[in-house]
A = this chain, B = another copy of it.
Amino acid sequence: MTDAPLAPGATIGILGGGQLGRMLSVAASRLGYRTHIYEPGAAPAEQVAMTRTRASYEDMGALKAFAESVDVITYEFENVPATALDLLDALRPIRPGIRALAVSQDRLTEKTFLEGLGLRVAPFRDIPDAASLTRALTNLGTPAILKTRRMGYDGKGQIRIDAVEEAPTAYAQMQGADAILEGFVDFRREVSVIAARGTTGETVCFDPGENVHDGGILRTTTVPATLSASQRTDAALLAGQILNALDYVGVLGVELFVTADGLVVNEIAPRVHNSGHWTQGGCAVDQFEQHIRAIAGLPLGDGRRHCDVVMENLIGDDMTRLPDLLRQPDTQIHLYGKDEVRAGRKMAHVNHIKRA
């Protein structure tokens, strides 16, 4: 692929077939692209895609055939194995690029990278062994959170530690996984910025959304967030700084803590993000289309919000509220097409729309 925009009719390969891949596929269709979903398991995304491959990320033959059938490759999750990425990267452009993935796959690398940019992050320590955890707890104080360096999402792979004495038990629960300890951040609220960078280097931010979590899982995102004008500017600037430093192409989610001393970066996700689903109801170009525009080399949408929105996730048994939600005015429903309702499983989201 050259720097010319991807022509209508081209095929975008998507690694991962969950709800993010599903909504990316629909957005791609609006721009005239076809999609090919690569997913080892059940894939809600295949219901709205042209082609699907069901194979593991270790199946080099399937990966090669997939790459050769598409024009550009993107992904809906950051934990794609490195061997698969290397094979794919040799055959087709992967956007966002491998460096962004490598940085965000590992909490230690990510925080080190962010600190290197001069951004504030939660205090952290590498925990290569049990002894280092006790030292780090003494140093950072409690409460603190022990996290696996890799593969965590929706609060999984995280343990809160309230006293130094809990160190051995907590460390044992990591089952030998590489870990880091994060110090406590006293924050007023959490917001996130959904930012995008195109192939020409242009960057665009959507308005920050204010997030409420429960049990490590996002419940709601509200736009506009409660932020001062300078905090909004800071949020956009730091997102742009991260995008540029990574020579990033695509949509990036940046989770921020709002503290008395300013913004602290919690984590980044090199993909469309649950806290950006509100854009489907609030903007002419939503985060999914923004991502497709970016990786296709098209001009980015301008990110302007024409409505206020409260996005609400429907998790597990929340699905019983569906009949009521269908009757609510100004409410957009997005079901994910998952066969089985399970506790803690994201099944759908709704966007409650208000005139801005």
Contact = CB atoms under 8 A, between A and B. Distances in A.
Given A306-B355, A355-B355, A329 B26 contact: no
A284 B31 contact: no
B356 A355 contact: yes
Nearest to A322: B8
A41 interface: no
Given A337-B9, A337-B34, A284 B330 contact: yes
Interface residues of A, number: 45
A7 to B, nearest CB: 11
What is the count of identical protomers in the complex? 2
A276 B329 CA distance: 19
Given A284-B330, A329-B302, A47 B29 contact: yes
Contacts of A327: 299
Nearest to A280: B30
Interface of A: 8-9, 22, 25-26, 29-32, 34-35, 46-50, 281, 284-285, 293, 298-299, 301-302, 304, 306-307, 323, 326-327, 329-337, 339, 348, 351, 353, 355-356
29 contacts: A8-B335, A22-B29, A25-B48, A26-B26, A26-B29, A29-B335, A29-B337, A31-B333, A31-B335, A32-B335, A32-B336, A32-B348, A34-B47, A34-B337, A47-B49, A284-B329, A284-B330, A284-B331, A284-B353, A299-B327, A301-B329, A304-B329, A304-B330, A306-B307, A306-B353, A306-B355, A307-B307, A355-B355, A355-B356
